[in-house]
Chains A and B, each alone.
Chain A
């Protein structure tokens, strides 16, 4: 009984759950994060635009707006202390028609009122001077220098690892089947046994309504909104340097064209409401739609340089805003976290953890480790530094993934550290093995072997992600 009892149980190890857990780990609290998949960052957090939004878009006075601005500020600091990739590349919102100029000006005003700094409306000519690849049809643009790009995997993994280093327990492949109120707090039933906790945090992404409705009277309704993306070769990653938005429409921010923090070109997403909460499939219609829309912004996007397509589900709550706070006694929601959720995650973490700490009258912990060091990116080192490192660890000199130049050492690191990877996708999200132009064609066999050896399992047991996704079906 005692083993499965915690002060706080966080359900969901996406970026929001991870951020909350990391903030909670600053306090004298026993915390467990529960995740239905085999690794952190396996749902909405793994498939999104990776944008650290400037904050001009959310409605003035909304929770989203407040959290967006401060979230972006926190990420600018956190990426250094927690060592994850972030770049402030700036954004532009394109206006294609003089008739839409008032909407652009509204956006500017909204940004000012939300507290976005250094924005300016620039002419089409000025926009093209900054971004030569954008369309001749652009008549004006909102320039947002504070916008940035982040590695969503890197950020979620960094937050989780740091939380774990500070004593948070993580339980994977554990699905919540029921939550019941008890005198002391909550009894959480899972397919891996029962847990009890004084406080429960619901950070379950597209499943957040299911959990919420197990406890609260006022139901939530989450509509998974699928967004499809096209990722292109690094060869064309410098086509634009800013994140290029189109003037937002009712269904979202429109299709963006952006360099990723790793130097690929990313195009997407569209917006399509689906029933199935696992429906991360792409469609040819969807890919065609984002292609057509993106070409409007940047006419020369070379779609033949596509290396992969993917889709993510935004957890859109019916109300359209974030649902944050104590919605039942001791039950805290972080639900409806859609864009700009990635940007806001660190603030959501502070906010929810703050509420819990206050309610629990928890004290700050001594010896909190604020700093986390990532896995060395060996290929980015100078030849001299690289040689030095290889002399110490020869496995950093054995390249497994040739497209991204990822060594055996980095792959081993991905598995051997705190909350190490246990699947191919886990390795990929930590060190980018297989994320290059051949999409793991060459390195799949070698990586399967390394995973099997390191985890002490057979080749047949190595999976892409969750059980059932094994690669090999026999000898």
Chain B
């Protein structure tokens, strides 16, 4: 069976960054498997700017950001296969891929990096009532049709969900001459970045209606309109608040779901909150030698953080190949409390952790003037003031190895959100 030191599933921002980092860590036998016909993944359709401030200290568009990494791949002569879909991964790191040139090929990997990204929550999963006409698109599908293929998906648009892709598409459709009538958001806050509310909605006078949802899709062949209603605290529509919006298109931007069907086949344990693998500080999953990064691990807002995280996964995969399976040291569990919904990583090997480990997390609601408190086995070790936290913006916290000097045997690291003067 063909063998490669590191096989990377996915040639989007996560896979590319992981490949570059693994190469720079000294591994030469790397293979990227990408299902699309170009490297770069979803960045190719994200033609807007706002990428790269963190990674390259300049503001780039999605394709430009992808190009930087594609160049690095080329400079390093890292091989990749396009139009290639992985159909199976085993716990023994055997990978089966399919493409039209080679058919079905099984290969063995020293380490696997999962970088398959995520998918959009479709209409069906939202249980939106009404007819099933043409003209209901997830925002990302519409984005591809508009930005890659150059086709307009509609003229009068309503958007449900204020995730970033929805906001970006509100502006994009407006610039292309469509009328975006309203963006409805079920929650009392937007799921997107603040800057996108300003420059995609406010700039163009597009109303954002919080605590609203679509209660019926009208039109048997093509969308003819939607009914929108206010929702109560239980997120259920309030009778009598229904309003009809005539439109030919409904775009959905209601959340992204990590695509872990392959991970499951390999026996990787998933975190029920993130929908991604449960990983340790090496970004290694429950299956030895299988690492995860990017949106397949947990959904990010910013590609810069994807790149950074993926580089870490690439380095760790390289270390795994170079030094073999490390002896299992006891791992401390990370837990979120008081509105901290999850943490990535979920466990930390204190004995051989890096000097700094970035922990990323999201909160459950919009919070103002809170404190982020870190406990090691119930003992408070840090307290950080937070002016504002929102579910749409991923938070991070760095754990220093030095902070464990006095407590090498910590079992549980708790990250809790507390009131300003709150006490544990």
Contact = CB atoms under 8 A, between A and B. Distances in A.
Indicate yes or no for A touching B, C-beta below 8 A.
Answer: yes
A389 B249 CA distance: 40
A307 B104 contact: no
Interface in A448-475: 448-449, 459-460, 463-475
Interface string B151-168: 111110000000000000
A399 B134 CA distance: 23
B104 A384 contact: yes
Nearest to A442: B119
Interface string B220-241: 1110000000000000010000
Contacts of A475: 150-152
B104 A383 contact: yes
A379 interface: yes
B330 interface: no
B145 interface: yes
Contacts of B106: 383
Given A309-B127, A445-B148, A468-B222, A390 B100 contact: yes
Contacts of B153: 471-473
Contact of A281 (B96, B104, B120, B216): B216
Contacts of B35: 399, 402
A282 B119 contact: no
A395 interface: yes
Given A405-B87, A466-B221, A441 B138 contact: yes
Contacts of A397: 98-104
Contacts of A231: 124
Contacts of A459: 149, 151
Interface in B147-193: 148-155
A305 to B, nearest CB: 8
Interface string B108-136: 00000000000110111101011111110
Give the one of A286, A287, A307, A441 with max B CB within 10 A: A441
Contacts of A394: 100-101
Nearest to B215: A284
Contacts of A307: 122, 124-125
A123 interface: no
B90 interface: no
Give the one of A230, A396, A437 with max B CB within 10 A: A437
B370 interface: no
Contacts of B217: 281
Interface SS, B side:
mixed
B109 to A, nearest CB: 16
Interface in B378-409: none
Contacts of B155: 473-474
A310 interface: yes
A386 B106 CA distance: 12
Nearest to A444: B141
Given A379-B87, A387-B103, A463 B134 contact: yes
A180 interface: no
A283 interface: yes
A175 B98 CA distance: 44
A399 B96 CA distance: 14
A398 B83 contact: yes
B137 interface: yes
Contacts of A306: 124-125, 127
B85 interface: yes
A282 to B, nearest CB: 5
Given A280-B131, A307-B125, A445 B100 contact: no
Contact of B124 (A439, A449, A460): A439
A105 interface: no
Contacts of B105: 387
A363 interface: no
Given A284-B129, A470-B222, A309 B152 contact: no
A310 B132 contact: yes
A323 interface: no
Contacts of A386: 98, 103-104
Given A306-B127, A441-B140, A472 B151 contact: yes
A287 B129 contact: yes
A123 to B, nearest CB: 35
Contacts of B237: 284
Contacts of A278: 220
A469 B100 contact: no
A228 to B, nearest CB: 9
Contacts of A308: 122-125
B129 A283 contact: yes
Interface string A281-301: 111101100000000000000
A467 B221 contact: yes
A388 interface: yes
Nearest to B156: A473
B69 to A, nearest CB: 22
B131 A471 contact: no
A218 B249 CA distance: 45
A391 interface: yes
Contacts of A402: 35, 85
B48 interface: no
B119 A391 contact: no
B144 interface: yes
A438 interface: yes
Contacts of B148: 445
A286 B130 CA distance: 11
Nearest to A47: B132
B248 interface: yes
Given A437-B119, A460-B151, A471-B153, A281 B129 contact: yes
Nearest to B122: A439
Contacts of A379: 87
A436 to B, nearest CB: 9
Interface in A381-417: 383-384, 386-391, 394-399, 402-403, 405
Interface string A415-427: 0000000001000
Given A307-B124, A309-B127, A386-B103, A445 B141 contact: yes
B123 A474 contact: no
The 10 closest A-B pairs by CB, nearest first: A308-B124, A387-B103, A397-B100, A468-B221, A439-B122, A394-B100, A464-B134, A383-B104, A469-B221, A390-B103
30 contacts: A235-B264, A281-B216, A284-B127, A284-B129, A286-B129, A287-B127, A306-B127, A307-B124, A309-B124, A386-B98, A390-B100, A390-B103, A395-B100, A399-B85, A439-B122, A439-B124, A440-B141, A444-B137, A445-B141, A445-B144, A449-B149, A460-B151, A464-B133, A471-B135, A471-B153, A472-B145, A474-B151, A474-B152, A474-B155, A475-B152
Interface of A: 230-231, 235, 278, 280-284, 286-287, 306-310, 379, 383-384, 386-391, 394-399, 402-403, 405, 424, 437-442, 444-445, 448-449, 459-460, 463-475
Interface of B: 35, 83, 85, 87, 96, 98-106, 119-120, 122-125, 127, 129-135, 137-138, 140-141, 144-145, 148-155, 215-217, 220-222, 237, 248-249, 261, 264
Given A389-B103, A467-B221, 6 more contacts: A282-B129, A284-B127, A391-B103, A440-B122, A441-B138, A472-B151
